[in-house]
Amino acid sequence: MKIAVVSSNGVDMDLHLGKGYSLYIYDYEDEDLTFTEHREVDIDLEQKHQGSKVIKACEDCDVIIAAEFGFKSKIKANELDIKLIADEGTVDEVLKRYIDHVEFMKK
């Protein structure tokens, strides 16, 4: 499973999906989480409603985790079979919570 985390610095969950100019991509397979790459998205921070740009940059991902996201972004992600998750805290905390949930649901 490929997980994109929307974060300005790779440490804090501090960006709304529509302002997600910085993405940290992780692979989760066989209970192993690995950071794979950092992606930048061309976002105009003065504009609203740019979630579709971020989602397009994550088309190869299964999950996108952001601090927040809007209704239109949720629809767009659903159309592409991408799960959108809103959470807050550090990137490590958010990833652990999500993975713990995935593992719990497998049981």
Q: What is the pLDDT of residues 21-61, one digit of tens each?
A: 999 999 999 889 999 999 999 998 888 889 999 999 999 99
Domains of the chain, start order:
2-106 (3.30.420.130)
- Residue 64: the pLDDT is 98
What does each C-alpha distance from 9 to 13, 21, 59, 89, 102 come to in angstroms? 9, 10, 21, 13, 25
| CA gap 19, 105 in Å, rounded | 31
pTM metric for this prediction: 0.94
* Percent with pLDDT over 90 in the chain: 91
Q: What is the pLDDT of residues 54-67, one digit of tens each?
A: 999 999 999 999 99
